[in-house]
Amino acid sequence: MSAISHGDPNIRVLIPEERIQARVQELASEIRAEIGHGPITCIGVLKGSFIFMADLVRALGGPVRCEFLGVSSYHGGTRSTGVVRISEDLRHPIEGHHCLLVEDIVDTGLTMDYLRHFLEGRKPASVRTVALLDKPGHREVEITADHVGFTIPDEFVVGYGLDLGELYRNLPFIAVYTP
């Protein structure tokens, strides 16, 4: 759990690749059990969700549409400024669709809270949410994803899509970054 990885002394593995992959399969089963086996419109929030989204949609199986939303980054370093802005809209209407908002992490909760309302304004049949990681120690808005992969302590994490200054997204595991 605490091995130094990739020769980077600032990185310590928190959730190994095998645990992530196993949990993604479980999440997919939970989500299918809840939504059923009809079409799901998965909406990944860029950039952080792209790896989780890729694994999750394959685990979900059945009819799945893939959409993405760009949200302007307000995490320049390791701190939030609390402003949410859409930088890339959905490519297609979601009216009448069963939607699944796919996030890598819920931290302050501001992004998921904003996007949930944003999607509901497009008249979908339903909106459910999934976050691979939940960091409840940092909440500014009371919100919990409908499906959570792992609850993590209040530490800065990278890997499996999450970055620090655009680096580390390609790590296959989640790691704690300590400068």
Strands 64-71 and 40-46: parallel
Query: Which member of 107, 113, 134, 163 is catalytic?
Result: 107
Residue 136 is a binding residue for ligand PRP (CB under 6 A) = no
Distance in angstroms (rounded) separating the CA atoms of residues 81 and 153: 20
Residue 129 is a binding residue for ligand PRP (CB under 6 A) = no
* Piece of 13-21, 23-31, 74-82, 118-126 that binds ligand PRP (CB under 6 A): 74-82
β-sheet with 64-71: strand ranges across:
86-88, 64-71, 40-46, 98-106, 126-134, 147-151
CB of 46 to ligand PRP, least distance (A): 6
What DSSP designation does 84 have?
-
What DSSP designation does 167 have?
B
Q: Which of 59, 74, 90, 126 binds ligand PRP (CB under 6 A)?
A: 74
Q: Nearest CA to 128 among 23, 33, 19, 59?
A: 33
Q: Is 107 a catalytic residue?
A: yes
| Residue 69 DSSP SS3 | strand
Q: Which of 5, 25, 73, 144 binds ligand PRP (CB under 6 A)?
A: 73
Residue 134 is a binding residue for ligand PRP (CB under 6 A) = no
Residue with tokens 């809270």: 113
Residue 19 is a binding residue for ligand PRP (CB under 6 A) = no
Residue 127 is a binding residue for ligand PRP (CB under 6 A) = no
Contact 82, 140 (CB under 8 A): yes
* Residue nearest to ligand PRP according to CB distances in the complex: 48
Binding site for ligand PRP (CB under 6 A): 45-48, 71, 73-75, 80, 103-111, 163
